[in-house]
Amino acid sequence: MTTEVYKVADPQNLTCDDISVIDRAGEIIRNGGLAVFPTETVYGLGASAYDPTAASSVYKAKGRPSDNPLIVHVAEPSEAEAFAIVSDTYRDIAERFMPGAVTVILPKKDVIPDAVTGGLDTVAVRCPSDPVARELIRRAGVPVAAPSANLSGKPSPTKAEHVVRDLSGRVDMILDGGDCVFGLESTVLKPEGDKAVRILRPGAVTAEMLEDAGYTVIVDSAVTDLSAVGENPESPGMKYKHYAPVAEVILLDMEGATESFSSVINRMESGNDGRFAVLCRREDICGISDDAIVFTFGEKNGEDDMAHELFSCLRAADDAGASRMYIPVPRLDGMGLAVYNRVIRAAGGRIVKV
Ligand code: AMP
Ligand code: MG
């Protein structure tokens, strides 16, 4: 299969050329093909949510285990009524946070094939805010089932070049909309009774934002504790070794440490062979050995910046041939919880307390 790649120059101002290509991508999806599109979280690999064969092609293209369900994307929150049993909680969350980086689990209707939900009787619904994504879903004329557009086990793609690397020759079209705004996947929520939600996967719609909206928020134990994941977690995606680069990821818990970040790394690296990479705050780079491959993020927006850089840096560390990658443990509030959820998976749960 040849993969057409089309660059949308300015996603905020779609030209007539952009719209006709996006319309063609919509037609590809409607007719059972696969098209990759940018979203504000990560790139998505889209197929018709009504077509079981297309859904199977998604799993095949990614090498994804078939019990890991896909998120169904809509251009307007109300479109979920066609395929899910919509509740007042969904409507309230939609009004407050959609379009946006949040996914809500709802009971599914029969039109959604089992291939999309991995056999579950629920379906995950998301309405992205990215203008290219919304135009594509509108043009497809069907809800779009889309997991992240990476090969299974690799970090989710936050730039089109990541997608081209992973999926060239495996999909019909890739729409390049530049860098994703957030860089981590959506918050996955399961409504639990009136005004209560369980976070199955943290993202840019944070626990604090939900609490400010009057919700009681339960953070599922699998979010922060790999040993709590078990065989049948609420969110099947949690049980897979996600986001893993080739390099060994070492998480450093620096809370209360008297030693500097650079000194800890130089000490841990003494006597080691091979190159190592570091992802750290810009203020912490001083003193790190010149041999290191160093990625930094800004201090001003802290964990938001770390989220934006994380997946791209994990890929870049592999490209540079790093054997090990050191990452500080993020704060656990706001977007930090989402970063923590991804980095513990990348590190296989190991944290070094300094
Ligand atoms: P990805 O497509 O890579 O962003 O992964 C989708 C995530 O949504 C996975 O972690 C799934 O486990 C989760 N998910 C999708 N559908 C459901 C569902 N019906 N119930 C619970 N979690 C779901
Ligand atoms: Mg994924």
- Of 235, 239, 242, which is best to mutate to test ligand 1, by the most ligand atoms within 8 angstroms of its C-beta? 235
Q: Are 115 and 65 in contact (CB under 8 A)?
A: no
Which residue's CA is minimally distant from atom 21 of ligand 1?
235
pLDDT tens, position by position, 178-218? 999 999 999 999 999 889 999 999 999 999 999 999 999 99
pLDDT at 246: 87
Q: How many CA atoms lie within 13 A of 255 on its CB side?
A: 8
Query: For ligand 1, is residue 143 a contact (CB within 6 Å)?
Result: no
Query: For ligand 1, is residue 185 a contact (CB within 6 Å)?
Result: yes
Query: For ligand 1, is residue 188 a contact (CB within 6 Å)?
Result: yes
316 CA distance to ligand 2 centroid (A)? 18
Query: For ligand 1, is residue 148 a contact (CB within 6 Å)?
Result: yes
Q: Are 260 and 328 in contact (CB under 8 A)?
A: no
Which residue's CA is minimally distant from atom 10 of ligand 1?
237
Could you give the CA distance from residue 26 to residue 70 in angstroms, rounded to a whole number? 18
Give the list of residues 6+ apart from residue 265 with CB closer than 8 angstroms, or none.
252, 276, 278, 288, 289, 292, 326
Q: What is the mean pLDDT of each run of 10 residues along the chain (354 residues)?
A: 97 98 98 98 98 97 91 98 97 98 98 96 98 98 98 94 98 98 98 94 98 98 84 73 81 93 93 93 91 88 92 95 95 96 90 92
Query: For ligand 1, is residue 152 a contact (CB within 6 Å)?
Result: no
pLDDT at 241: 60
47 CA distance to ligand 2 centroid (A)? 15
pLDDT tens, position by position, 264-287? 999 999 989 989 999 999 989 999
Which residue's CA is minimally distant from atom 22 of ligand 1?
235
Omega before residue 99 within 30° of 0, cis:
yes
Rounded-to-10 torsion of CA 247, 270, 297, 245? 0
pLDDT at 349: 80
235 CA distance to ligand 1 centroid (A)? 6
Give the CA diameter of the chain: 61
- Of 40, 58, 163, 200, which is best to mutate to test ligand 1, by the most ligand atoms within 8 angstroms of its C-beta? 200
Query: For ligand 1, is residue 202 a contact (CB within 6 Å)?
Result: no
Which residue's CA is minimally distant from atom 15 of ligand 1?
69
Which residue's CA is minimally distant from atom 7 of ligand 1?
237
251 CA distance to ligand 1 centroid (A)? 25
Query: Which ligand 1 atom is the nearest neighbour of the CA of 148?
Result: 3
Could you give the CA distance from residue 234 to residue 149 in angstroms, rounded to a whole number? 22
pLDDT at 228: 74
pLDDT at 269: 94
290 CA distance to ligand 2 centroid (A)? 34
pLDDT at 240: 59
pLDDT at 193: 85
Give the list of residues 6+ apart from residue 351 with CB closer than 8 angstroms, or none.
251, 252, 253, 329, 344
pLDDT at 264: 95
